[in-house]
Amino acid sequence: MIPIYEQGTGRGIGHSLKSFMTRFELLCQEHLCDGRASAFAFVFYDFDDEELRHLLRDQGVFTKLDRLSGVNLSLFYLHAGRRRTVERFNAEFLDRLGVDGGTRLPCVVFFRVKEDKIEDVTVAELENANLIHGFRELYGVVESYIKDDLREQTSGPKYMRILKSGVRFVGIESFRILLRSALDSVIP
């Protein structure tokens, strides 16, 4: 798991929002070339969803999801304290990944990067944000994707809904430029 911090760089793991924005393309390429990941994902949540925010901040949850994702998946999430930052980040990334506005939060958006293009975008909407069931559900979604099950399904377990994005390819350079302009408005 790789946190993206609204301010600062955290405790040695993760990126500041500004550095992530400017290095997104390079980070994906580095992770692929170094064998650190073969796919990528973002956890999106509503700022008012205190339980999920608490869940993502929990060190035990972080460790278990980090171990699960291993070299298969780079799992990003925004660790922010301001509503506007979270809302803008969600809106811009969901739009740029081709995820429609009807997607409910929380959700996990998985994608692959091939030949400098973002493709194979898959969205898993989460139903449970509470601490006990929310962790199991989040863990199960990530585990299913890693096992290659989720990408082939059109419906998932009863607690989640699988959506396939209509956008197949988005150039990473275009994504980065659009993201930079969007995040410039939220970064002081």
Q: Which domains does the chain carry?
A: 2-184 (3.40.30.10)
Whether the predicted pLDDT of 184 surpasses 80: no
- Integer CA distances (angstroms), 45 to 64, 75, 83, in order: 19, 14, 11
Q: List pLDDT tens digits, range 94-135.
A: 887 888 778 889 999 998 888 778 888 888 888 865 667 888
Whether the predicted pLDDT of 143 surpasses 80: yes
Whether the predicted pLDDT of 80 surpasses 70: yes
Whether the predicted pLDDT of 38 surpasses 70: yes
- Which segment, 45-49, 89-93, 165-169, 180-184, is predicted with the most confidence on average? 45-49
Amino acid occupying residue 147:
K
